[in-house]
A and B are shown apart, each in its own frame.
Chain A
Amino acid sequence: DAKTTQPNSMESNEEEPVHLPCNHSTISGTDYIHWYRQLPSQGPEYVIHGLTSNVNNRMASLAIAEDRKSSTLILHRATLRDAAVYYCILQKTGANNLFFGTGTRLTVIP
């Protein structure tokens, strides 16, 4: 499975935008880019996914580099409830499971 690289931790001030980076230099053409997050004492939660184009939903935006070797999850206004571990995951089309790494622990400062 293609590997992703994320910073271990990041901090953000409340109500400011957060850009969470992910490198995936060995991505193949059929790999989807997923983001999940895990709040303390909860199971992971789907955030967003994309293939080639940038994506927006109610939770976040996903910006994908033109060569697809990196992507950025954008939280437009961080709140205290966004403090979580964020996982960037590559999934091949038709694959049935998700391979989580260790993710980025986001701390939101009031």
Chain B
Amino acid sequence: DTGVSQNPRHKITKRGQNVTFRCDPISEHNRLYWYRQTLGQGPEFLTYFQNEAQLEKSRLLSDRFSAERPKGSFSTLEIQRTEQGDSAMYLCASSLGASRSLEQYFGPGTRLTVT
């Protein structure tokens, strides 16, 4: 399968713990995006990378959130000191360069539950 993959698919953690999610984009895509989706709502943009550079961050991305894409391939999203309000589906998407940025391909998401 050559689509976007995310691991783990589900994560249950206790409040205050740190969690890290991984996203592997489609191999030739140089743009990578993270979104968050809560129940009944559409996805909300968090941040985006072009190659290894993080070029845009949403106001939703608090100081407890950090994302990296060290070699311009896979990306990780870490949440420190998780709170119950962080419970959501975290979605990763990728796209080709600027001329094709309109089509984003999404992974299946990582569902985070903070207890």
Contact = CB atoms under 8 A, between A and B. Distances in A.
B104 A98 contact: yes
Interface residues of B, number: 25
Contact of A102 (B40, B55, B58): B40
Interface string A70-110: 00000000000000010100010010111111110000000
B31 interface: yes
Question: Which of B4, B33, B43, B109: most chain A Cβ within 10 A?
Answer: B43
Contacts of A29: none
B65 interface: no
B43 A44 contact: yes
Contact of A100 (B33, B40, B44, B105): B44
Nearest to A102: B42
Interface of A: 32, 34, 41-46, 49, 85, 87, 91, 94, 96-103
Interface of B: 4, 31, 33, 40-45, 48, 55-56, 58, 91, 93, 98, 101-109
4 closest Cβ pairs, A-B complex: A100-B42, A43-B106, A97-B45, A44-B106
